[in-house]
Structure 1
Amino acid sequence: MNKTELVAAIAERTELTKKDADQALKAFIDVVGDELSKGEKIQLAGFGTFEVTERAARDGINPRTKETIHIPASKAPKFKAMKSLKEKVNN
């Protein structure tokens, strides 16, 4: 499912116009991104948790040249599904 299909599905289930559903989805994505950039965690009951994880600096290998390279520390978004979502997926 791509964004257009997701917007259409949201519009159908909520009886919103596609334009309103698109704005709601964009607002959701913006809010999640803003909160994660501040280091906050977002918990949605029955769905899951969005949070930021820290990746330590490490050395890696360039597969083309086999040369050792330094990979700097970084932050990455993470999603952990809640039990009810996992059960829905597995049924």
Structure 2
Amino acid sequence: MENIYQQLRDQGNKELSRQDVIMAVGLILDHCAHALAEGERIEIRDFGAFTLHIIAARAGRNPKTGKSVDVPEKRTVHFKPGTAMRVKVNQNNRSF
């Protein structure tokens, strides 16, 4: 959050406080989480898209006992990076 705050200040937005930035970012993330929970797709241009994937219920196995167990359906978030994001990530292709 500090980086966002500093960048806004550097761009001339002197009237924004750290608390304003924290609240704004929090509201955006809350909105995204709510939209995903409702099954909506979220696309941020040049960044990527978030979608909801549903994993069907299935029969699983307890690794300790080998006994069969029912695994319920679950929902998970899938992220697909946009082209600009992939290019930016790959241009700094350094070993870590």
The Cα of 1:41 is off from its aligned counterpart by 0.6
Uncovered stretches (5+) of structure 2, i.e. residues with no partner: 10-15, 92-96
1:10 to 4, 7, 15: 4
Flag as ranges the 4+ runs of structure 1 deviating above 3 A. none
Q: Percent identity?
A: 29
- The TM-score with structure 1 as length reference comes to 0.84
Q: How many residues align?
A: 85
RMSD (Å) for aligned C-alpha atoms: 1.2
Amino acid at match of 1:63: P
Q: Find the aligned partners of 1:40 and 1:18 in 2 and give their Cα distance.
A: 30
In the alignment, structure 1 residue 49 sits paired with structure 2 residue 49: yes
Which structure 1 residue ranges, 5 or more long, are not aligned? Answer: 1-6
Report the structure, 1 or 2, having the larger helix content.
1
For normalisation by structure 2, the TM-score amounts to: 0.80
